[in-house]
Amino acid sequence: MSDRMTMVQALNLALADAMAENAKVLVFGEDVADPEGGGVLGVTKGLSSRFGPSRVRSTPISEQAIIGAAIGASMAGYRPVPEIMLMNFTTVAMDMIVNHAAKLRFMSGGQTSVPITIRMTTGAGFATGGQHADYLEAWFAHTPGLKVVAPSNPADAYALLRACIDDPDPCIFVENIASYGSSGNAPKRHEPIPLGKATVSRAGEDVTVVSYSRVANEALAAAESLAAEGISVEVVDLRTVSPWDQETVLQSTRKTGRLVVAHEAVRSFGVGAEIAATIGAQLFGQLKAPIVRLGAPFCPVPYSNTLETAFALRKGDIIDGVKAVMEPVANKAPEMS
Amino acid sequence: MKTRIPTRVELLEIYRRTALIRGNDDRFIKMLKAGRIAAPYYSPRGQEIIPSALSVLLTDKDYICTIYRGIHDMLAKGMPVKELWAEVLGKVGGTCKGKGGPMHLTYPAKGIMVTTGIVGSSMPIANGLAWASMLDGSDTVTVAYFGDGASNIGTFHEALNLAAIWNLPVIFVCQNNTYGEHTRYAVTTKVRRISDRAPAYAMPSIHVDGNNPIAMYGAAHEAIERARNGNGPTLIEAMTFRFMGHVYGDDDSYMDRSEKAAALAADPVVRFRSDLLTAGTATNEELTEIEASVEAVLDEAVEFGMNSPPPDLAELRRDVYETEVL
C-alpha cells in the first residue's frame, strides 16, 4: 500500500475495516450502496458489493427515518454508521439526533445507549449557496450526550472514524468536501487515536492557533508563511470538537501566551467562543494579548464566488489574525473590525 | 386467515392488565390531587384495552416504543409497578433513577425501549429495533404506539414507507382517541380513517374497535403473526376515547359534551367486566380477586416509591455519556 492516501480513500478504508472486524457495523443512507454509485461523493464505494445489501443499504430521502433506524438498531446491539449526505440535512432529523440519540442514555438512567456514528460532509467553496455548506458543529457540541469529531487529514480521519464506531456514545462525524481529494499520510491502521485528544501538528513559540477540520490545514499553511517572517506559530488540531482537549490547548497557550481560535463556521456563538472563554478564564493575567477568534461573518453561506471566497477562512485570514494577536495595537484584530 | 379468539386464560389476563392500568390511573390522580406528584399527567383512562389485548401476544423479548400517553402500554407490557412509581415520584429507585420521569419511562428487561415526549417519534426508532431483529434472524417483533395526531407529522410517513420497503417486523398501532391535543380529528385530517393511509405504503391495515378486547386481540394477532413470519409491517388503527382530556387538569371545554357522555357511558373497563360475567367466562369472585390483587400491587408500589430516596446530585454527571462527565 502506498504511504499516501486521499481523504475519501481513508474514510472508505475505515468503514471497510470496521465492517470486516465487526459484523454489527451497518452503513446506510441516501445513495450509499454500489448500484446507486457508492455514495454521491464515493465514500462508501464498494462496501455493499463486499458486505452485502443487508448491511449496506441505500435509503429513501428520509433523514428522520434514517437516524431513527440507526437509534433503534443501536439499542439492539448494532453499530450503525448512517450517512446524512450534507450537514445541513441534519436539520430535518434534529428531533431524532438531539431529543433521542443524545438523551436516551440519560433519560433511561443508563439502561439504554445509542452507539451510532452519523457521518456527514460540508464546507463552502462549491457554489452551493446557503443550504448545502454550513458548519453546524456548535449546535451539536452544545448538546449534552453527543460527541463531535472533525478530522483535518486522511490519517486522522481513518483513526477517528474507527474510534467513533467503537465508542459507546453517539458521535457526529464531520467531513469536509474540499478536503476529500487531498492526499496525506496513509493511516496507521493499528494505531488508534482516542476521542477528545488534540494534536500539536506544528510546534512553535510565539502564538497558538487552535483549529480543526479544513481550517487546521489553513493554519499549518499560515504557520509556514509566518515562519519566514520570523513568527513562530504552534498549531493545535483539536480533532475532537466535543469533548475538546482543554489540557493540550491550555498547555500550548500557557507556553506561547497568545491564542487564536479559527474555524469555518460563523464566529458568533461558535466553538471558538467556548475555547476563548475557557482559556481566558484559566490564563487571566498571563496572556500577552486578548484572544482572537476567527470565523465566518454572521451571514448564510453566500453564492457569488466573490462573496463565498471572502466567507470561508483561508490562510491569509489566519496570518492576519496571528499578526493581530502578536501586535494587538498596531494590527487591529479582525473580530473588532 | 381466520381471526383468532382469546382463550379464557388470555381473557382473564387481559382483564388483569386492564384492571392494573385502571387502578394505576386512579392512584395517579389521587396522588396529583394530594399534591404528592407535581408533573404533567397524560392519562390513558379509556384506552386500557388496546395494549392489554395486544400485549398478551407478546413476549419479554418483543419491543415496544411508546409516547407520553403510554403508561398503559408499559403496564400492559410488564413494567414493574414499584419501579414505575419510584420513577414518577422522581426517586432513585425508579426504572430510570428518577432521571426520565413519566414521559420517558424505560425498561429494556421487558422490551420497553423508548418512551418519547415528541409526537410521532416512536415510529422511526421502532423501525431500527425491528431491523435489528431481522438482521439477527430472530422472530422478535416491535410495536410502535402513537396517537391519531401523530399521523400528521412527517415521521409517520417516513417510518411507514421505510418499514414497508424493508419489510420490517413492526406493528404500527395508532390509538385513535379522536383528539390531537385539543383539536378534533376531522379538523386536522381529511381521510376518514388513519388506516386509509396504509395503502399509500402498500402496507396491510386493520381498523378495529380498540375498546373491544376480543376484536383488538384478533387484530393484534393477525399483525403480530404477519411480522413474526417475516411478512412485514401492519398499520392498526384502534378506535378509542380518552376520558381525562389531553393533560390532567385541562377543562375539556373543547370537547362535545354528548360525545364525551356517550363515551363515559360505554366505559370499556366496565363493559369488559360485565361481558366476562354475562358470557360466563369468569365469576364475580374471580374478577374481584383480580381487582384486589391489583390493588395490593399498587399499595406496595406507591409505598416503595414514597420510601425511595431522591437521586444523588452526582446523577447530573452520570449517564450523559458512558463515562461520567468531569
The alpha carbon of residue A126 is apart from the nearest alpha carbon of chain B, in Å, by 30
Contact criterion met (CB < 8 Å) for A68 and B121: yes
Look at residues B268, B169, B160 and name the one whose alpha carbon lies nearest to residue B209. B268
Mean pLDDT, residues A65-80: 98
Contact criterion met (CB < 8 Å) for A111 and B123: no
User: Cα(B200)–Cα(B192) distance, rounded to whole angstroms?
Assistant: 14
- Contact at 8 Å (CB) between A318 and A293? no
Show which residues on chain A lie within 8 Å of chain B, measured between beta carbons. 26, 54-55, 57, 59-60, 62, 64-65, 67-78, 80, 95-96, 99-100, 104-113, 144-145, 147, 168-169
Q: Which residues of A touch B95 (CB under 8 A)?
A: 108-109, 111
Contact criterion met (CB < 8 Å) for B125 and A68: yes
Is residue B2 very low, low, confident or very high in pLDDT (cuts 50, 70, 90)? confident
C-alpha cell of residue B165: 420497503
The minimal CB distance from B132 to the residues A67, A77, A109 is found for A77
pLDDT at residue B326, as a whole number: 81
Mean pLDDT, residues B270-279: 98
pLDDT at residue A337, as a whole number: 36
Q: Which residues of B touch A77 (CB under 8 A)?
A: 132
Higher pLDDT, A212 or B260: A212
Q: What per-residue string of b and e applies to B229-265 under the rule 16 or more CB within 10 Å gives b?
A: eeebbbbbbbbbbbbbbbebeeeeeebeeeebeebee
Contact criterion met (CB < 8 Å) for B124 and A74: no
Return residues 87-106 of B near A (CB < 8 Å). Answer: 94-100, 104, 106
Contact criterion met (CB < 8 Å) for B129 and A76: yes
| Residue A333 pLDDT greater than 60, yes or no | no
C-alpha cell of residue B68: 407520553
| Residue A313 pLDDT greater than 70, yes or no | yes
Look at residues B166, B115, B172, B120 and name the one whose alpha carbon lies nearest to residue B141. B172
Secondary structure class of A121 (helix, strand, coil): strand
Q: CB distance from B113 to chain A under 8 Å?
A: yes
Mean pLDDT, residues B43-56: 97
| Residue A334 pLDDT greater than 90, yes or no | no
CA nearest A109 in B: which residue? Answer: B96
Is residue A331 very low, low, confident or very high in pLDDT (cuts 50, 70, 90)? low
Mean pLDDT, residues B167-184: 95
Q: Which residues of A touch B96 (CB under 8 A)?
A: 107-109, 111
The alpha carbon of residue A246 is apart from the nearest alpha carbon of chain B, in Å, by 12
Contact criterion met (CB < 8 Å) for A65 and B155: yes
In whole angstroms, how large is the CA radius of gyration of chain B? 19
Helix/strand/coil (H/E/C) assignment for every residue in B33-82: HCCCCCCCCCCCCCCCHHHHHHHCCCCCCCEEEEECCCHHHHHHHCCCHH
- Contact at 8 Å (CB) between B107 and B73? no
The alpha carbon of residue A206 is apart from the nearest alpha carbon of chain B, in Å, by 31
Mean pLDDT, residues B255-278: 95
Percentage of chain B lying above the pLDDT 70 cut: 100
Give the count of Cβ contacts less than 8 A between chain A and B: 147
pLDDT at residue A335, as a whole number: 52
With left for phi above 0 and alpha for psi between -120 and 50, is residue A10 left, alpha or beta?
A: alpha
Contact criterion met (CB < 8 Å) for A80 and B128: yes
Percentage of chain B lying above the pLDDT 90 cut: 93
Contact criterion met (CB < 8 Å) for A68 and B123: yes
Sign of the dihedral defined by the CA atoms of residues A89, A33, B114, B208, in that order: positive
User: Cα(B208)–Cα(B212) distance, rounded to whole angstroms?
Assistant: 8
Residue A263 annotated to the active site: no
The minimal CB distance from A64 to the residues B130, B154, B321 is found for B154
Q: Which residues of B touch A145 (CB under 8 A)?
A: 320-321
CB atoms within 10 A of CB A26: 25
Share the mean pLDDT of chain B. 96
The kind and range of the H/E element at A84 are: strand A79-86
How many helices (H) does chain A have, and how many strands (E)? 12, 14
Contact criterion met (CB < 8 Å) for B161 and A169: no
Sign of the dihedral defined by the CA atoms of residues A224, A225, A230, A233, in that order: negative
User: Cα(A66)–Cα(B124) distance, rounded to whole angstroms?
Assistant: 8
Mean pLDDT, residues B60-65: 98
The minimal CB distance from B113 to the residues A75, A78, A96 is found for A75
Write phi, then psi, for A184 (nearest 5 degrees).
-155, -175
CA angle A122, A123, A129 (to 5 degrees): 100
Q: Which residues of A touch B319 (CB under 8 A)?
A: 105-106, 108-110
pLDDT digits (tens, 9 = 90+) for A140-153: 999 999 999 999 99
The minimal CB distance from B106 to the residues A67, A95, A112 is found for A112
Contact criterion met (CB < 8 Å) for B124 and A54: no
Mean pLDDT, residues B20-42: 95
pLDDT digits (tens, 9 = 90+) for A142-181: 999 999 999 999 999 999 999 999 999 999 999 999 999 9
Is the omega angle on the peptide bond into residue A243 within 30 degrees of 0, that is, cis? yes
Active-site choice (A100, A132, A142, A263): A132
Mean pLDDT, residues B6-20: 98
The alpha carbon of residue B284 is apart from the nearest alpha carbon of chain A, in Å, by 40
Return residues 32-91 of B near A (CB < 8 Å). Answer: 63, 65
Look at residues A165, A65, A73, A163 and name the one whose alpha carbon lies nearest to residue A112. A73
pLDDT digits (tens, 9 = 90+) for A254-307: 999 999 999 999 999 999 999 999 999 999 999 999 999 999 999 999 999 999
Mean pLDDT, residues A219-248: 98
Look at residues A240, A232, A121, A92 and name the one whose alpha carbon lies nearest to residue A171. A240
What is the greatest pairwise CA distance in chain B?
63
Share the mean pLDDT of chain A. 96
Return residues 187-206 of B near A (CB < 8 Å). Answer: none
pLDDT digits (tens, 9 = 90+) for B98-140: 999 999 999 999 999 999 999 999 999 999 999 999 999 999 9
pLDDT digits (tens, 9 = 90+) for B157-166: 999 999 999 9
pLDDT at residue A329, as a whole number: 57
The alpha carbon of residue A70 is apart from the nearest alpha carbon of chain B, in Å, by 6
The alpha carbon of residue B159 is apart from the nearest alpha carbon of chain A, in Å, by 5
DSSP A194-259: -TT--EEEE--SSEEEEE-THHHHHHHHHHHHHHHTT--EEEEE-SEEES--HHHHHHHHHHHS-E
